[in-house]
Amino acid sequence: MAAKLPEINASSMADIAFLLLIFFLVTTTMDVDTGIGRKLPPPPDPTQKPPDVKDRNVMNILVNKSDRLMINGRPGDISTLKDEAKEFMTPHFPDDENFPEVSETTINLLGTIYTSKGLISLKNDRGTSYKMYISVQDKLALAFTELKDELSKRKFGRPFNDLNEDQKDAINEAIPTRVSEAEPEDVAGK
């Protein structure tokens, strides 16, 4: 007669597997895609006609499927986009036809200052690479960040991120992030 092998008690195997699963779920990190931080404006009133925008107040940026930039109808470069956007959005003399119109505005905590009526219009081709799209968005965001930092230092002596909420609201009112993004389409050959 053959010797009988002792059985292994497996009753706690499910508990051990469950504990291992919990351990790996808690200790594992997952890469999460991050988006672009933008605060969208409220929906427009459908009964109200959109305001007319003068051509001089709009900086048109077009990115084609080859990731090439056109800025106001002329070839552009991603390396200079931030500076061009910043220069465009900086309030200049009211009668300077080369830049957007300005308005004299009184803002709480800032007093009476000139604000730009400029708007950056961005349009991408459907074939634009994601990397180029993000690069353009980063450059435009950086331009507005630098403008806000400069005004913040001039008016409050501190960078924008070091301001209290009321001061940040005043700076945001003086320099709103005016970027209009059109629906992507096939703009081949442009």
The per-residue pLDDT of the chain, averaged, comes to 86
19-to-12, 13, 24, 25, 117 alpha-carbon distances in Å: 11, 10, 9, 10, 60
| Mean pLDDT of the region 106-112 | 92
Task: Indicate whether this model's pTM tops 0.85.
Answer: no
CB hemisphere CA count around 17 (13 angstroms): 5
- Give the confidence band of 190 by pLDDT, cuts at 50, 70, 90: very low
CB contact at 8 A, 102 and 94: yes
Buried b (16+ CB within 10 A) or exposed e, 80-116: ebbebbbebbbbbeeeeeebbbbeeeebeebeebebb
Determine phi and psi for 139, rounding to 5 degrees. -65, -40
Residue 39 confidence (pLDDT) above 90: no
| Mean pLDDT of the region 51-64 | 88
| Mean pLDDT of the region 157-168 | 94
Bridge partners of residue 113, in order along the sequence: 105
Residue 78 confidence (pLDDT) above 90: yes
Distance CA 22, CA 28 (A): 10
pLDDT of residue 163: 93
Identify the helix (H) or strand (E) that includes residue 156: helix 130-156
Report the range of poorest mean pLDDT among 19-23, 44-48, 174-178: 44-48
CB hemisphere CA count around 127 (13 angstroms): 10
